[in-house]
Structure 1
Amino acid sequence: METQRITEFPHKNMDKRPRKRQRLTWDVPPPPPLVAPPKLVPGMFCGYGFYNGNGSPPWRPDDKDGHYVFAIGENLTPRYRILSKMGEGTFGQVLECFDNEKKEGVAIKIVRSIHKYREAAMIEIDVLQRLARHDFGSTRCVQIRNWFDYRNHICIVFEKLGPSLYDFLRKNSYRSFPIDLVRELGRQLLESVAFMHDLHLIHTDLKPENILLVSSEYIKVPDYRFLSRSTKDGSYFKNLPKSSAIKLIDFGSTTFEHQDHNYVVSTRHYRAPEVILGLGWNYPCDIWSVGCILVELCSGEALFQTHENLEHLAMMERVLGPLPQHMVIRADRRAERYFRRGVRLDWPEGATSRESMRAVTKLPRLPNIIMQHVDHSAGDLIDLLQGLLRYDPAERLKAREALRHPFFSRDLRRFGYPM
């Protein structure tokens, strides 16, 4: 689970809409100096030291991958002072900064100085501004505060939020959330997805890493599965967030309904079958991801822990039953090789290893997965998931239909989680 999950980005089919906004170039690169610029003290870069200065730091080259090289305590423009590094991804890195003008903490996404990531960042800014215009309560998606171009890095300033659901699970030893908390998280997630779909936007990369808790506060509660064991490390307790409020982040891969939908989207574990089969995709690919996420929140583990297509399809059939023939027949040329005579999945004959075969064989059916981890509401949740994880995207529940499901609407006993 700790292995970094890589998202395939649609470089070739990028949105080519003209950019009308003016590029901000107040901090352009200086002319090449005759003498090498002064360097900071060794060991200070990338969050390992401190730099004291009121203006911009000395100019220095990016690292070999195009990441911005920084030091804790220095300024990112005179307005923002760097406090810590919050995270890193294929796009670049996120820094916690203090906004000297607004006197508040913010998170700044500093995109790598590589053309395709800069282009993706500009698309993300367009999407974020569109979302902000319509998200009147600021409750569904992370809010953009500002953006600027600094030393060839697109920098997007966001409100500061808490940890992602994935980070919370990881730091909690991948212990599942209580079903009543899953209900609250699922409701908000579907409301956010419905909000985006109403605006003709498809997120395409929904996963626990891209869902952030608004607050970092948590409480410790007994983990009854461990109470009967003798333990010295306190593992019979688990952490739960004080508030269930969440927001979506990372709109760098978001696309409009009318754009090209033939390239590969979604991080592997949450990728819908129509994407793997090359059938094209639309809003339902987000719904499939939501289904996978809800199972993960209930169990603590990703539903489909796989790294290649044939094994992924075999896992789907193991958990959900056989793929529909009408989808198999329409699979594109790249996906044809996963089937014998174009009809039956080439499994286990086509398995790459015995380990791969065991990974598929050990998976239970969907109802059994849920019943292993959920006490009350299991029946309603199973029924909801079977609607979210329907193979045929045309038959999959829509976000607003899912919100009306009995799993959310029944008057069940709930443990209060403030929104």
Structure 2
Amino acid sequence: METQWVAEYPHAAMEKRPRKRPRLTWDMPPPLPSPKGPLPLYCGLELMNGSGANHLFSSYYYPGVSRNASPPWRGDDKDGHYVFAVGENLSARYRILSKMGEGTFGQVLECWDLEKKEFVAIKIVRSIHKYRQAAMIEIDVLQKLAKHDVGGTRCVQIRNWFDYRNHICIVFEKLGPSLYDFLRKNSYRSFPIDLVRELGRQLLESVALMHDLRLIHTDLKPENILLVSSEYIKIPDYKFVPGSSKDGSDLKNLPKSSAIKLIDFGSTTFEHQDHNYVVSTRHYRAPEVILGLDWNYPCDLWSIGCILIELCSGEALFQTHENLEHLAMMERVLGPLPQHMMSRADRRAEKYFRRGVRLDWPEGATSRESMRAVWKLPRLQNLVMQHVDHSAGDLIDLLQGLLRYEPSERLKAREALRHSFFTRDARRLNYPM
């Protein structure tokens, strides 16, 4: 079977569902203007000129930009984001190369570390008090993880942090694209089960480390899991007849390396902290969070179960933005919610049940489209069998343990790592770390 080796990923403008934090790391940027051209537009005020690693040294020679000088003082934009221009310095040490992404917290820039001579990703937090406070908590978590993540193989490594013009700046190692970006730019084609097994193993090891340190991530999702390398291979997609497509759609992409790292600890909480608030991105939110019940470590394991299904199928399991529909989808895939959880739901969640004994569905559905979205979902066993060839039985059993409604009965991270899904077919693994 012939394979084509590729070092960069082509841009494909495709989107199936709204996401909280779209990342642009893998997009192929346009070339920088020549030294005789105009200065780059200020990011945060206008659309920036993209950059990339291959434009590193040309970015050093913008007219009017001194190699080591700090840029002129500018006010932040209306949302408190730092306003910058590609080619400028961020402090005397870092040269800005491109914008990698943006979220509620601030923005992430690709930079060149002039001291260490390496590429880094710098998270620049908005100059708003609550985000600055959250950033300091994240730095505490990152430093704690760095002390215990031997070899730095499980969680993104913090390189440095500093306060620059009222913005907390956190310097990270530069990694590859997120698993979500890989799926999206690969037309949401699923991963082979052997690769899912290795990705799942690493994710569980990362979460097990966090839980050992009494930390709860609370926002696990494919966007927050990054491949270490951007390299990938092209192989024939068995769903297409070889050579049947002139546009290359009969080929699918696979990561050249399976190595991943967990990122985004801005929502991470310590076990002893207050847990009386909503956590997790919608698609990966555990039932106890929706029902207003106490949540803890098991909410991370529910998210992992949802992620594994998404990696196998290519699409999020619970594609919804409304609580009642979300609960109805859970019952469709996993069976009815336990009576004792329904009876303990808080006041905000009481309205989702009829007399506290069953879900108010389909009577409470907001539309026929909502009802169809629920009814089209298959049971968990059938869903897995649609996308998995070998190891389906072991995967179904693992998912049933990760997606148990009752948090106390859900598998713990280290228990899941001992599951036969990871131990029975160890010899099948052929993805380099």
The one-letter code matched in structure 2 to 1:209 is: E
**Unaligned stretches of 5+ residues in structure 2:** 1-14, 22-37, 51-58
Structure 1 counterpart of 2:66, from 53, 58, 71: 53
SS in 1 for 2:71: coil
**TM-score, reference length from structure 2:** 0.87
**Residue 285 (structure 1) aligns with:** 299
SS in 1 for 2:407: coil
The answer to whether residue 410 in structure 2 is matched with residue 396 in structure 1 is yes
Structure 2 counterpart of 1:226, from 231, 240, 249: 240
**Unaligned stretches of 5+ residues in structure 1:** 8-39
TM-superposed CA distance for 1:105, in Å, is: 0.4
**Residue 304 (structure 1) aligns with:** 318
TM-superposed CA distance for 1:152, in Å, is: 1.1
The one-letter code matched in structure 2 to 1:296 is: E
Structure 2 counterpart of 1:245, from 255, 259, 269: 259
What are the superposed Cα offsets for residues 286-323 of structure 1, whole Å, 9 maximum, x if unpaired? 00000000000000000000001000000000000000
**Residue 167 (structure 1) aligns with:** 181
Aligned length: 387
**Residue 21 (structure 1) aligns with:** none
The one-letter code matched in structure 1 to 2:43 is: F
The answer to whether residue 206 in structure 2 is matched with residue 205 in structure 1 is no
Distance 1:246 1:53 in 2: 37
- Contact residue 147 and residue 157 of structure 1 kept, 8 A: yes
Distance 2:173 2:242 in 1: 43
Distance 1:104 1:239 in 2: 28
Higher mean C-alpha deviation, range 355-364 or range 49-58: 49-58
The aligned runs of 1:12-91 (5 Å cut-off) are 41=39, 43-46=41-44, 47-48=48-49, 51=62, 52-54=65-67, 55-91=69-105
Higher mean C-alpha deviation, range 146-155 or range 408-417: 408-417
Distance 2:347 2:238 in 1: 50
SS in 2 for 1:394: helix
Distance 1:247 1:186 in 2: 11
**Residue 34 (structure 1) aligns with:** none
**Residue 30 (structure 1) aligns with:** none
- Contact residue 5 and residue 267 of structure 1 kept, 8 A: no
TM-superposed CA distance for 1:43, in Å, is: 3.0
**Residue 423 (structure 2) aligns with:** 409
**TM-score, reference length from structure 1:** 0.90
SS in 1 for 2:408: coil
**Residue 357 (structure 1) aligns with:** 371
The aligned runs of 1:95-114 (5 Å cut-off) are 95-114=109-128
**Residue 140 (structure 1) aligns with:** 154
What are the superposed Cα offsets for residues 253-283 of structure 1, whole Å, 9 maximum, x if unpaired? 1011111111000000000000000011000
SS in 1 for 2:428: coil
What are the superposed Cα offsets for residues 120-178 of structure 1, whole Å, 9 maximum, x if unpaired? 11110000000001112111100000001111111000001000000111110110000
Distance 1:259 1:399 in 2: 21
The aligned runs of 1:179-218 (5 Å cut-off) are 179-218=193-232
TM-superposed CA distance for 1:230, in Å, is: 2.9
Distance 1:203 1:171 in 2: 26
**Residue 32 (structure 1) aligns with:** none
SS in 2 for 1:93: strand
TM-superposed CA distance for 1:229, in Å, is: 7.8
**Residue 17 (structure 1) aligns with:** none
The one-letter code matched in structure 1 to 2:352 is: Y
- Contact residue 76 and residue 82 of structure 2 kept, 8 A: yes
Q: Identity percentage over the alignment?
A: 85
The alignment yields a C-alpha RMSD, in angstroms, of: 1.5
Distance 1:44 1:205 in 2: 32
Distance 2:289 2:313 in 1: 25
TM-superposed CA distance for 1:42, in Å, is: 7.2
SS in 2 for 1:247: strand
- Contact residue 186 and residue 253 of structure 2 kept, 8 A: yes
SS in 2 for 1:95: strand
- Contact residue 201 and residue 257 of structure 1 kept, 8 A: yes
Distance 2:175 2:277 in 1: 31
**Cα distance, 1:288–1:247 mapped onto 2, change above 3 Å:** same
What are the superposed Cα offsets for residues 230-273 of structure 1, whole Å, 9 maximum, x if unpaired? 32210011111111000100001101111111100000000000
**Residue 327 (structure 2) aligns with:** 313
TM-superposed CA distance for 1:4, in Å, is: 3.9
The answer to whether residue 285 in structure 2 is matched with residue 271 in structure 1 is yes
- Contact residue 40 and residue 49 of structure 2 kept, 8 A: no
**Residue 383 (structure 1) aligns with:** 397
**Cα distance, 1:5–1:63 mapped onto 2, change above 3 Å:** same
The one-letter code matched in structure 1 to 2:66 is: G
Structure 2 counterpart of 1:339, from 333, 353, 360: 353
- Contact residue 217 and residue 300 of structure 2 kept, 8 A: yes
TM-superposed CA distance for 1:227, in Å, is: 2.2
